[in-house]
Chain A
Amino acid sequence: MQNINATFTIAFRDIAKLLRDRTRIMASFIFPIIFIGVLGTSLQQNLAEGLGYNFLVFVLTGVLGQTLFQSTSAGIISLVEDRQNDFAQEMFIAPISRYSILLGKILGETLVSLMQIIGIVAFGYIMGIPLDIFSLLRLIPFVFVVAFFGGAFGVFVMSNLSDQRAANQIFPFILFPQFFLAGVFNPIQQLPLPILIASRIAPMTYAVDLLRSVYYYGKPEYDKTVLFNPALNLSVVAGLGIIFLVVGTYIFVKNERNK
């Protein structure tokens, strides 16, 4: 009971923090706006004819997956920084298990990323992107899965980072290439072999493709926009997510006190 109470408290704190931090709210929309509004529209204007599908819908569904994955993983990584100043010290000294801290943090960051994607979808409608509302609604359960997957990935990366400096240097290096490897705004069905291998190793690929495969399921564009079927994507995301979470949490708890 104590741990459940703590998990909710930690999750709620993340949301309360987001709602008070206007700069962070603005910043979290800037990337999607650049991707969809600038990159997406320019590619749509110049390349869309040969594609056979609406490129902006393709980019927006990709950005949804990328935002959920990135936002939760980055939120977890921030624990490295938090624990040296800030309220996180309080969490680590409280009589609660490390598992509830990580779980609360994943839950909180998941909710934070959900708020962000609501903004992105609204932005899509404002821009007049022809989004299918029923397909979007179908995404709801998978949105949680992808956010949780990002959180698990964050725990795994964090458990292997010793300090804030390492986190700041290494995390972008692990994250940014995945934008392109996962095909957030570039079709990746055909790639040169080395890139193809890297693309299929990148966890974000499955996060993005899971959402796209559910969104495009049963539509004529399905074959051109999706890599794997939803069941395969879901199995990879769930399987990898559990491995990341279990291994990451184990290493984190072990290293935490044992310096």
Chain B
Amino acid sequence: MSANHVIEVQDLVKRYKGAEKNSVDGITFYVEEGSFFSLLGPNGAGKTTTISILTTLLSHTTGSVKIAGHNVESESSQVRQQIGVIFQNPSLDRNLTAEENIRFHANLYNLYPFMPTFSLMADSYKKKVSELASVVGLEKDMFKPVKDLSGGMKRKLEIIRSLMHQPRVLFLDEPTTGLDPVSRQNVWKYLKDIQQKGDITIFLTTHYLEEAESSDYICIIDEGTIVSRGTPAEIKQSLIQNYITINAADSKKLGAELQKSKLDFSGSGPFIVKLTKHSAQSVIQMIRTPLTTLDIHAPSLEDAYVEIITKNHAKH
């Protein structure tokens, strides 16, 4: 394993039994330890297949996948010890209390010997639970059945539970689907705190592109292959044309002026001026006609994403 690659995926191929084509078709990528990595793509692109392979739940057809230096096929147990997973569907037991859900997780990972009640558990466990409860604000509800908690609370509970065994990588498969905006922001604030405090690597798949804006690195996957990769800024830059939209009361005069300055523009008022050779600043300096409209187009990751996916589909 290279010094700081916590996830190494090399030529990964997955073809389901009886399928005519590969669901994942030879993808290669690396994730640096401690970084925030996002895997984006439309439904059916191969995201869930990829995350299932990376989390040892599914065998791959060819290629190699290593998590924290361990092969997912031959050393799945070691891999599982190093990862935490937040599934798309909640994986809490609704009939059990919040504390029991945490206790059973801790028992499954052999962190503490199994005991049938909270009071019989080790003191270190009790201390840990009360710490975690105060971090997510669940002090009062720790011994209530999970079904009485709100959606956002449940997600937070799943996150703290998945961190009990101190995994090196936390996989989040569309973690905020179905949450209201306030809960979503809340969960994200908490996740970012965790990532900044600890050395944990976050591997995210999501449909909400604004959630991926703060990623360190993004891969966009479509029809089983990686169609774009880079930092959010790089992805936006490489694809989206930056432009400004301007207009003037005397649009004819403005049009003539743009023509004269040999700027790359389109429209007849409002005008769209592409920022290929000039910055927005220098374009404005060239213009003498008083402007009534000035709008600098700042592309979002979503714009870039839509453009990438649309272009890729047009190719096929």
Contacts and interface: CB of A to CB of B under 8 A. Distances in A.
A93 to B, nearest CB: 5
A94 B56 CA distance: 10
Most B C-beta atoms less than 10 A away, residue of A1, A93, A96: A93
Given A93-B85, A95-B77, A13 B104 contact: yes
Interface string B78-109: 10110101010111111110001100110111
A90 interface: yes
B100 A16 contact: yes
Nearest to B87: A89
A6 B108 contact: yes
Given A20-B145, A87-B101, A257-B57, A9 B114 contact: yes
Contacts of A21: 95
Contact of B107 (A9, A85, A258): A9
Contacts of A20: 95-96, 145
Contacts, number: 87
A3 B95 CA distance: 24
Interface string A88-103: 1111111111000000
B113 A5 contact: yes
Interface in A82-136: 84-97
B55 A93 contact: yes
Contacts of B80: 93-95
Contacts of A8: 107, 114
A217 interface: no
Contacts of A84: 89
A2 B16 CA distance: 32
A17 interface: yes
Interface string A1-41: 11001101110110011001100000000000000000000
Given A9-B114, A86-B93, A259 B58 contact: yes
Nearest to A97: B77
Interface in B99-126: 100-101, 104-105, 107-110, 113-114, 116
Question: Which 6 A-B residue pairings sit nearest by Cβ, starting from the closest?
Answer: A95-B80, A2-B110, A9-B107, A87-B93, A94-B108, A89-B91
Given A6-B110, A88-B91, A89-B85, 13 more contacts: A1-B110, A5-B110, A13-B93, A17-B93, A20-B145, A84-B89, A85-B90, A86-B89, A90-B108, A94-B108, A95-B78, A96-B108, A97-B77
Interface of B: 16-17, 55-59, 77-78, 80-81, 83, 85, 87, 89-96, 100-101, 104-105, 107-110, 113-114, 116, 145
